[in-house]
Chains A and B, each alone.
Chain A
Amino acid sequence: MFDWLVWLVSWALILGGCLFIVAGGIGLVRMPDLFTRLHAASVTDTGGAIVLSLGLIVQAVFVFGSAMAAVKVLLILFFTLFTAPTASHALAKTALLSGQVPVGADGRPVLDSPETAARLARSRPDEDAR
């Protein structure tokens, strides 16, 4: 009974994680603009990694009986949780800073000009460039 429950839970988690990840991959290919792709890839990557790792931890603890493997997967999870969103933040900020203008749903740019985008990305927009 317990084995069956563990099997079900880990199947559900791993399958859910894969669903997230495949959805992210499809989004990466089909989205029209850099920023929408960024959103698709980063959210689903992190979410999928979390769910998949939880499934792997359940497997490691109950099926493999190896606490070491479970701890390592937990470390991978925490590391990904810290670095994947940070990397996508850095990407988005640098993209905006370099003048990439987001495109709206109707295909027209949302902002006036690349300079507006750069100004929006700056951490203190009311200051001078120096």
Chain B
Amino acid sequence: MIEHLVIGALLTFLVVIAIGIIVLRDLLAAVVLLGLYSLVAAGAFIVMDAVDVAFTEAAVGAGISTILFLGALSFTSHEQKPRGNDSIVAAVFVVITGALLIYGTLDMPHYGSAASPAQTHPELAVRFIERSAGEVGPPNLVTSVLGSYRGYDTLGETVVVFAAGIAVLSLLGLRRRGSPGNLPPEAPGSAPGLTPVPAPHDPAAETSGAIDPATGPRRYARQRHRVLQVVTKLIVPFVLLFALYVQFHGDYGPGGGFQAGVIFASAFILHGLIFGLQRTRQVMPPSVVRMLMAGGVLIYGGTGAVTMLLGGNLLDYDVLAHDPLHGQHWGLFAIELGVGVTVTGVMISLFYAFASRRSDDREPARDADGSTPTGATTGAGGTPRAGDASTPGA
């Protein structure tokens, strides 16, 4: 009874938050509410007994997504453009399509029904529940399904994460920050249509020293946040340790490679936020991050190669040790390690890629006829080449 109340309340929150996100025009507030949405969705997953999914949803949706959205917002304005007249035809279309889809779901089995094909097929849920302990071993069924029964799928997911990391790196690159040669030139006041970001040496901003809430944040002078520094230094080691715990405890409770990778990356992201990208790059150089990205996929695929060399099929862990159960144990250990390493590398490199772009790299607004104004800043005009990403380790 109380479970129904909790899940009903959480789902209602989701609807309300979603409406709020759509209605709000301030994009920063929308980003904050999106994080809240992910948090509530993860809570709903927990109440529905999907603990591993909730773990990943919380870590990725509420944490990393917020940070990446903020990184994207730094390239553009913080206010949504005022919407034109909403189209009635579009609304009718959407309603009809939605109604058709809902009509289509009436044929599907009821929520949680024991008669659905996924529950009754002898090779699926029945086999996993009954024979997983004997065939694979770990008490956490999700890990055994994800790692062993559906190992190819997880290999594909890891490669997808890796591909996303490569795509972001090739699009955004990794600028070196702070070195004198690479600082973007002063925003020329003469470029027409440039989004009004005040130049760093704006004397009015210096003397008053305030961020005018009417026009948004300005480049503000140094402010030390001592408390944040101290607290970050205190909690980062524990977060890293907790990430390792989640990685290796994935066999027995909720956890595993994905979640551990995200938490590990969150520690470095927190460090980067508080201490600046330059210092974080000294701790975790971009070259090491690139090696992590590729190394995880190598470990995973390498496990498959090893099993093939030892005579089994691809990712057939039975052949890895003297005894199938031990082999499965070693196989799961290796692939979870691979997944965790790749996810860590990709998340950190995404953060580096977004955070290394300063907001003076904003694209100049286009003129009415679509041509970019001449004399635009080179910061946004030059696409970062992939060569930028090959900065030697700081």
Direct contact of A and B (CB under 8 A): yes
Verify A93–B225 contact, CB threshold 8 A: yes
Within 8 A of A (CB), among B125-178: none
Contact A97 B235 (CB under 8 A): no
Number of contacting residues on A, CB 8 A?
22
Question: Which one of B206, B212, B234 lies within 8 Å of A82 (CB-CB)?
Answer: B234
Is the CB–CB distance between B211 and A130 below 8 Å? no
Total contacting residues, chain B, CB less than 8 A: 23
- Whether a CB of chain A sits under 8 angstroms from the CB of B104 is no
Residues of B within 8 A of A122 (CB): 209, 223
Name the segment of A18-26, A50-58, A110-118 touching the other chain: A110-118
Instruction: Tell me if B92 counts as interface (CB < 8 A to partner A).
Output: no
Please give the distance in Å from B42's CB to the nearest CB on chain A: 16
Q: Is B207 part of the binding interface, using a Cβ–Cβ cutoff of 8 Å?
A: yes
List which A98-114 residues lie within 8 A (CB) of chain B.
Answer: 98-100, 114
**A118 — which chain B residues lie within 8 A by C-beta?**
208-211
A82 touches B217 (CB 8 A): no
- Measured between beta carbons, the chain A residues less than 8 angstroms from B226 are 123
| B240 → A minimal CB distance (Å) | 14
Instruction: Flag whether A66 is at the interface (Cβ < 8 A).
Output: no
B212 vs chain A, min Cβ distance (A): 7
Residue B4 at the chain A interface, CB threshold 8 Å? no
Chain A, Cβ-Cβ closest to B220: A97
B225→A90 contact, CB < 8 A: yes
Alpha-carbon separation in the docked complex, A83 to B220 (Å): 25
Taking the closest CB of chain A, its distance from the CB of B361, in whole angstroms, is 23
B235 contacts which of A79, A98, A115, A128 (Cβ < 8 Å)?
A79
- Residue in A closest to B224 when the chains form the complex, CB atoms: A123
Decide yes or no whether B221 CB sits under 8 A from chain A: yes
Nearest B-chain residue to A124, judged by Cβ: B224
B213: Cβ under 8 A from any A Cβ: yes
Chain B residues near A114 (CB-CB < 8 A): 210, 212-213
Q: Say if the beta carbon of A29 comes within 8 Å of chain B.
A: no
Judged by a CB distance under 8 angstroms, whether A30 is at the interface is: no
Q: What's the nearest-Cβ distance from chain B to residue A80, in Å?
A: 11
Chain A minimum-CB-distance residue to B232: A86
* A115 and B209 form a contact (CB under 8 A): yes
Please determine whether A129 and B213 come into contact, CB atoms closer than 8 angstroms.
Answer: no
| Residue numbers in A under 8 Å from B235 (CB-CB) | 79, 82-83
**Does B22 count as interface, using CB distance less than 8 angstroms?**
no
Cβ contacts B225-236/A at 8 Å (1 or 0 each) = 111100100110
Judge whether A39 is part of the interface by a CB distance below 8 angstroms. Answer: no
Contacts of A128 in B (CB 8 A): 206
Partner of B228, one of A86, A100, A115, A129: A86
Q: A122–B208 Cα gap in the complex (Å)?
A: 12
Cα A119 to Cα B209 in complex, Å, equals: 7
Q: How far is the CA of A79 from the CA of B210 in the complex (A)?
A: 33
* Shortest CB distance B88–A (Å): 37
Q: How far is the CB of B380 from chain A (nearest CB, A)?
A: 26
A70 to chain B, nearest CB (A): 16
List residues of chain B with CB under 8 Å of any chain A CB: 205-213, 217, 220-228, 231, 234-235, 238
